[in-house]
Amino acid sequence: MPIAEHVMRHAAERPRRVAVRGPAGDLTYAGLAANIHGAARHLLGLGAGPGALVGAGLADPVALLTAVLAADLAGATPLVGEPAWDRARWTAAAGPVDVLVNTPLPSASAGPAVRYEPRPDDRAWACFSSGSTGRPRAVVRSRASWTASFPHLSGLTGIGPDDTVLIPGPLVSSLYAFAAVHTLAVGATALLPGRWPAGSLAAHLGQATVVHLVPHRLPDVLDRPGRLRTAVVGGAALAPDARATAARAGVDVVAYYGATELSFVAVDVDGSGLRPFPGVEVEVRECGGPAGLGEVWARSPWLSEGYLGEAAGPLRRDDAGWMTVGDVAEPYRAGEVLRLRGRGGGAIQTGGSTVVPEDVEEVLRKVPGVGDIVVVGSPHPRLGSVVTAIVESTSPPPRSLLEAVARGGLDVAQRPRRWYAVPNLPRTQTGKPARALVAALLADGAPDIRRLA
């Protein structure tokens, strides 16, 4: 079933229920359904029928969601991108786009209801994945891979039609886009500020019962949880004390691991560790990388079909239907906890040793005054690379303290030899520190990055 059809069903059953709360105000399910039908008729008039690729880049999150659901209802494949992109930029990232929506679609036109008979293998959704490299790739997935996981997420999180779900980020991020369409599919209210609502976070949390977000935003939410019952967290590992802090705030945390290309892979609902998401098989295969670690492969109904526009990327597959994006983990057997150790391609080769950056970051993140941290390899004439730490802080702790913590918790090869500080780390759309961009800025001598003496 198209996601838009869920909206139509909710509009018939609970027409006055608020579907979305955006920057311009509230819209009921009846109002959203009418807007989607009108927008779908307009798209069909532009040739955006079954099989067409519709690029949607709109700043207003409600207008963007309307365009996406209208394309879905028309049988086309919606692709969410940046509002500032012109057609050439869309083509470079995803290949030819049949219809480009960069202004809100007319939604008040009169006409018959739009109907499309979907198939499970329809290409029903496409979204961009930049990972930590900043190179956008359009990932496309079938209708079944996109929507059939909804009941599992509802069961794990308890999200239902009486919830108000805060989605505090741009919908160009697959994490936030999935949260928005899942919310509408279950008949809940989607609270869509379109970006992180720094100045109005408390007001938003006063309305929300659930929030979807990335780990580095969780502490802000737990400082003033309001009516919050559950935080659904994805995109990176949780900080060591996150669950204890959440428990004190009365908030349950459901953390998951996945990738835009793989969708959900593993989930931790109670702090006992990551275990395969329903329907997912996991293997950790030897890959010739860091000693004792292997590459995470997944097989499930939720896997994507790959990249549009013949883009190159980390996604690989084998003939048995397994896929990987190169993440590494400790050895794993079915029934055990999956212990992730980061992205294999980020490993640092230094003086004959292999260092996994996430291992170093986990130790140093505990230092008071460290907001976040990125560890990269810096070129060295003899060692190949040296471990380099970039601390996110406006008032960083002394280097002596950082080095003392490193000596106490890290092996010799893992300890950073160079230390820098920056007020704000650049981040990807999902909130992860953009590791490759940090390394490039460091190499270019960016003025905001200062060396710690």
**Band of pLDDT at residue 133, cut at 50, 70 and 90:** very low
pLDDT tens digits, 282-329? 999 987 666 678 899 999 999 999 999 877 788 899 999 999 988 888
In terms of domains, do 224 and 83 share one? yes
Same-domain pairing of 241 and 356? no
- What gap in Å lies between CA 217 and CA 220, rounded to an integer? 6
Look at 3-12, 43-52, 120-129, 268-277 and tell me which has the smallest mean pLDDT. Answer: 120-129
Please check whether residues 233 and 380 belong to one and the same domain.
Answer: no
The last residue of one of the domains, among 252, 287, 319, is 252
Neighbours of 368 (CB within 10 A): 7
* Alpha-carbon span 54 to 100, nearest angstrom: 6
Residue 159 within a domain? yes
Predicted local confidence at residue 347, as pLDDT: 75
Contact call for residues 138 and 93 (beta carbons, < 8 A): yes
Query: What residues pair up with 446 in beta bridges, in sequence order?
Result: none
Strands 323-324 and 316-317: antiparallel
CATH code of the domain in which 182 resides:
3.40.50.12780
- Which residues are bridge partners to 268 per DSSP? 255
Residue 42 within any structural domain of the chain: yes
Mean pLDDT, all residues of the chain: 90
Question: How high is the pLDDT of residue 109?
Answer: 66
Residue 142 CA from chain centroid, whole number = 18
User: What is the rounded average pLDDT of the residues 1-10?
Assistant: 86
Which amino acid appears at position 438 of this protein? V
User: Quick one: CA dihedral 403, 404, 406, 410, positive or negative?
Assistant: positive
Q: Do 242 and 352 fall into the same domain?
A: no
Q: Is residue 351 part of a domain?
A: yes
Distance CA 453, CA 450 (A): 9
Instruction: Give exposure, 93-107, as e/b (b: 16+ Cβ within 10 Å).
Output: bbeebbbbbbebbeb
Q: Which residue has the higher pLDDT, 310 or 161?
A: 161
Boundary residue ending a domain (252, 267, 286): 252
Same domain, yes or no, for 40 and 163?
Answer: yes
Q: What is the domain count for the chain? A: 2
Give the residue numbers spanning the domain of 380: 347-451
Q: What is the DSSP string of 266-333?
A: EEESSSS-BEEPTT-EEEEEE-SSSTT-EEEEEESTT---EEGGG---S-EE-TTS-EE-SEEES---
Cβ atoms of 282 and 267 closer than 8 Å: no
pLDDT at 132 over 70: no
Single-letter residue type at 332: Y
59 and 194 both lie in a single domain: yes
pLDDT at 38: 93
Query: Following CA atoms 186, 187, 193, 196 in sequence, which dihedral angle do they give, to the nearest 10 degrees?
Result: -30
Return the number of other C-beta atoms located less than 10 Å from residue 444's C-beta: 9
Of the CA atoms within 13 Å of residue 356, those in its CB half-sphere come to: 19
Q: What is the CATH number of the domain that holds 432?
A: 3.30.300.30
